[in-house]
Structure 1
Amino acid sequence: MAHTSNSLCLLLISIFLLSLFQVVKGPNRRLLPFVDCGGLCAIRCGKHSRPNVCTRACGTCCQRCKCVPPGTHGNREMCGTCYTDMLTHGNKPKCP
């Protein structure tokens, strides 16, 4: 009986912790609540021809998706469908 209670308690704690801390796949593994959008977007948009526009869009995408792809260009699929499917009002990809 005690073994069943311990197992149930462990299961509930595990579910709770998984709901709090989801891990992003890829090279920029971080706990989602602690993503440094400003720093990651500064790196992402560092070589962009319009860095202010890029940083603003990247910040919005990072806040919503809790992820910024590694590098200065490409690798958008590393952040999943949230990042790749977000569009502007003109139906162009929003996230750099």
Structure 2
Amino acid sequence: MAAARVHSTTSFLLLSLFLVLITFSSFAQGYNRLRPKDCKPRCTYRCSATSHKKPCMFFCQKCCATCLCVPPGTYGNKQTCPCYNNWKTQEGRPKCP
């Protein structure tokens, strides 16, 4: 009877750990996986520190609609969104702000 109790406790702990890992994984990716309607508010914040708001918003929203991702912050952090980071212009410069 004690062995059955240890087995059920171990199973419960493993299941709990598995659920925590799934939740954390979803949360970690959750910032970057957006729906198209989430693009405008994220881009508004992303472009808030630039003096070129109109072009920044245009390209940010275009990139977000394609990649469904906007890096956190107002500058940098592009490594968190590979699609956003790797999209280049014909001249080879970054397309996304």
Per the normalisation by structure 2, the TM-score is 0.64
Q: State the percentage of identical aligned residues.
A: 40
Give the secondary structure class of the aligned counterpart of 1:91.
coil
- Deviation track 1:41-94 (CA, whole Å, cap 9, x = no partner) reads 0000011120111111100110000000110000001112x1111011221101
Residue aligning to 1:90: 91
Q: Given that residues 85 and 96 in structure 2 are in contact (C-alpha distance below 8 angstroms), is that contact kept between their aligned partners in structure 1?
A: yes
Q: 1:29 to 1:64 in 2, by over 3 A?
A: closer
Among residues 65, 68, 75, which one is paired with 1:66 in the alignment?
68
For these two proteins, the number of residue pairs brought into alignment is 72
Aligned-residue Cα RMSD (Å) equals: 2.2
- Structure 2 unaligned runs (5+)? 1-25
- Give the gaps of 5 or more residues in structure 1: 1-22
Return the alpha-carbon distance in structure 2 between the equivalents of residues 63 and 76 of structure 1. Answer: 16
- Counterparts of 1:11-90 in structure 2, within 5 Å, are 25=28, 28=31, 30=33, 32-33=34-35, 36-80=38-82, 82-90=83-91
Q: Compare the two structures and name the one with the higher helix fraction.
A: 2
